[in-house]
Amino acid sequence: MTVSAENILLLGSLLLFLSIIASKTSFKLGIPTLILFLVVGMLAGSDGLGGIYFNDPKIAQLLGVMALTFILFSGGLETKWESIQPIIWQGVSVSTLGVLITATSVGVFSSYLLGYTWQEGMLLGAIVSSTDAAAVFSILRSRSVGLKGNLRPMLELESGSNDPMAYFLTVSFVYLIAEPDATLISLVPKFFKGMILGAVAGYAFGKIMIWIVNRIKLDIDGLYPVLILSMVFFTFSFTDVVGGNGFLAVYISAVILGNSSFLHKKSLIKFYDGQAWLMQIVMFITLGLLVYPSEIVPVIGPGVLIALFLIFIARPAAIFISLSFSNGLNARKKLFLSWVGLRGAVPIIFATYPLLAGIESARTIFNLVFFISVSSVLLQGTTLPMVARWLRVSVPEKLKRKFPLDIELKDNSKSELVELDIPENSPAVGKLVMKLDLPKTALIVLIHRDGKYITANGDTEIRPRDHLLVMADNKSTVDKVFESFNLSPSH
């Protein structure tokens, strides 16, 4: 079946529906959502049951770039500066030096294994050098696994900041293959120019977004997401035109915006989270349509070897070398970070660049990248909770919200709502609320006990396994609340 204007809405809606149902199943079974989205696309393709013919890498790349822009922006909006600040330099090291080490080691190995030129091998290594932590978090949430210390913010920072480096390496080696007279040294100034301009543009446009959103005073609230969307795409395209790294600019602008106060903040963050999921589904299905399963079979042999090398040698080497100066991470945590190096849809998107450049080995590289990414997610993704427990870096995830309330504080409010569970050995057990050593600016709003909701007052006694909803005036007060109950915010 050929996609046309008459059937695209029907086919698109059916594929979206099937993907969402598949994602629900994946959470229960512990299967990474990415795999099921790709499977839906492959089944709908010309080699599958759907018979939809799609062979346009240009459209796939356009959709991929748009989707990645959405995903990076949404991820940046939800990145808390106070969480990543303690590990900012470690995260930057992993997302730059770590990506370079991964690309180089895989590139050398692939050149030797496949008989490629060093440029083609490095191109393959560059394409698979970035990770997809979104798949990691979906697995951890589905299995109710939390992470100790700064592991989670480290993964969040790496996932948001390593794609720009991988993108730079990919387009650079596409350029070196297309232009045989170009030298490796010529890439150095391009790297610094792209990263510096990307960082500066991201910071500047982030501040501009805050200023515009808070002062434009639109009559229609529904236009605020459209306004921000226009600025996000302008940030990417303008930065790219002037020679900067557009993906880096989008991520930094989102971090700046997300850690500031602006109108309709909470609703806009929810909106872009939904849009990011929509774009992920569209992207995965499109890439699934672009892949022909019959072409994957011949690359299974070398694909398995490269995937194993990437998982067990290249990624661990990148983590241990790039974090060799970090004293806050022990060997167990570094091993876990090594295992979390899942490859997602981003490498498959980057693999469309050599296809469009007309590189001779591009189709083989694309199929290899697809196989390596799927193998990585299947092997590492399905064993992630087990490895976290084995390395003793996991803690029980916070219980799901027990309060059926969708409370939204004002956008300019610094107040915080936090839920916490009272263990049996808590020093607060048996005490009245008035006798608790709570900060004066904290208030117990509601207590969930034995299936009932209790309004707390000074004479209310705290009991084991109570679930409390507490309001605090700021984040530092939240920390004091946890201390008063002898609890850790990470538990």
* 363 CB-contact burial (10 Å; exposed 0-12 / middle 13-18 / buried 19+): middle
Taking the C-alpha atoms of residue 170 and residue 163, their distance in angstroms, rounded to an integer, is: 10
Q: Is there a domain that residue 2 lies in? A: no
CATH label of the domain that carries residue 470: 3.30.70.1450
* In contact, 341 and 315? CB cutoff 8 Å: yes
CATH label of the domain that carries residue 50: 1.20.1530.20
Taking the C-alpha atoms of residue 312 and residue 261, their distance in angstroms, rounded to an integer, is: 43
* In contact, 344 and 132? CB cutoff 8 Å: yes
Instruction: Please report which residue ranges of 259-314 form alpha helices under DSSP H.
Output: 265-290, 293-296, 300-309
* Strand, coil or helix: 52: strand
* 320 CB-contact burial (10 Å; exposed 0-12 / middle 13-18 / buried 19+): middle
Q: Is there a domain that residue 352 lies in? A: yes
Question: Do 346 and 420 belong to one domain?
Answer: no
Question: Do 373 and 423 belong to one domain?
Answer: no
Question: Do 348 and 202 belong to one domain?
Answer: yes
Question: Do 15 and 109 belong to one domain?
Answer: yes
* In contact, 342 and 136? CB cutoff 8 Å: yes
Q: Is there a domain that residue 78 lies in? A: yes
Q: What's the pLDDT score for residue 244?
A: 94
* In contact, 374 and 35? CB cutoff 8 Å: yes
Q: Is there a domain that residue 33 lies in? A: yes
Q: Is there a domain that residue 411 lies in? A: no
Contacts 24+ apart (CB under 8 A), 15-23: 15/40, 15/41, 15/44, 15/285, 16/278, 16/281, 16/282, 16/285, 19/281, 19/284, 19/285, 20/281, 23/281
* In contact, 212 and 234? CB cutoff 8 Å: no
Measured in degrees and rounded to the nearest 5, phi and psi for residue 356 equal -70, -25
* In contact, 290 and 59? CB cutoff 8 Å: no
Beta strands in 128-205 (DSSP E): 145-147
Question: Do 17 and 112 belong to one domain?
Answer: yes
Q: Which helix (H) or strand (E) holds 470?
A: strand 467-472
Question: Do 430 and 381 belong to one domain?
Answer: no
Question: Do 144 and 279 belong to one domain?
Answer: yes
Taking the C-alpha atoms of residue 210 and residue 229, their distance in angstroms, rounded to an integer, is: 13
Question: Do 349 and 476 belong to one domain?
Answer: no
> For residue 446, is it left (φ>0), alpha (ψ between -120 and 50) or beta?
beta
Question: Do 260 and 317 belong to one domain?
Answer: yes
* 415 CB-contact burial (10 Å; exposed 0-12 / middle 13-18 / buried 19+): middle
Taking the C-alpha atoms of residue 157 and residue 136, their distance in angstroms, rounded to an integer, is: 13
pTM for the structure as a whole: 0.78
For residue 134, give the nearest of 290, 301, 340, 282 by alpha carbon. Answer: 340
Give CA angle at 36 (33, 41), nearest 5°.
130
Question: Do 375 and 434 belong to one domain?
Answer: no
Q: What's the pLDDT score for residue 30?
A: 53
Number of domains in the chain: 2
Torsion of CA 286, 292, 295, 301, to 10 degrees: 60
Q: Which helix (H) or strand (E) holds 396?
A: strand 394-396
Give CA angle at 80 (77, 85), nearest 5°.
130
The residue count for the chain: 491
Q: Which domain holds residue 316?
A: 8-396
Q: Is there a domain that residue 410 lies in? A: no
Q: Is there a domain that residue 87 lies in? A: yes
**Identity of the amino acid at 431:** K
Question: Do 199 and 80 belong to one domain?
Answer: yes
* 313 CB-contact burial (10 Å; exposed 0-12 / middle 13-18 / buried 19+): middle
Q: What is the largest CA-CA distance in the chain?
A: 81
Q: Give the count of alpha carbons within 13 A of 240, CB side only.
A: 15
Question: Do 272 and 378 belong to one domain?
Answer: yes
Using alpha carbons only, how large is the chain's radius of gyration in Å? 24
Q: What's the pLDDT score for residue 184?
A: 86
Q: Which helix (H) or strand (E) holds 30?
A: none
Q: What's the pLDDT score for residue 129?
A: 93
For residue 123, give the nearest of 89, 164, 181, 171 by alpha carbon. Answer: 171
Q: Is there a domain that residue 298 lies in? A: yes
Q: Give the DSSP letter string of 229-261.
A: HHHHHHHHHHHHHTTS-HHHHHHHHHHHHHTS-
Mean pLDDT per 10-residue segment, the chain (491 residues): 60 71 60 68 70 78 87 86 86 93 96 94 94 63 66 81 91 92 88 94 96 91 93 96 94 93 87 82 78 87 96 95 85 91 82 91 92 86 84 64 52 68 83 85 86 84 87 80 72 44
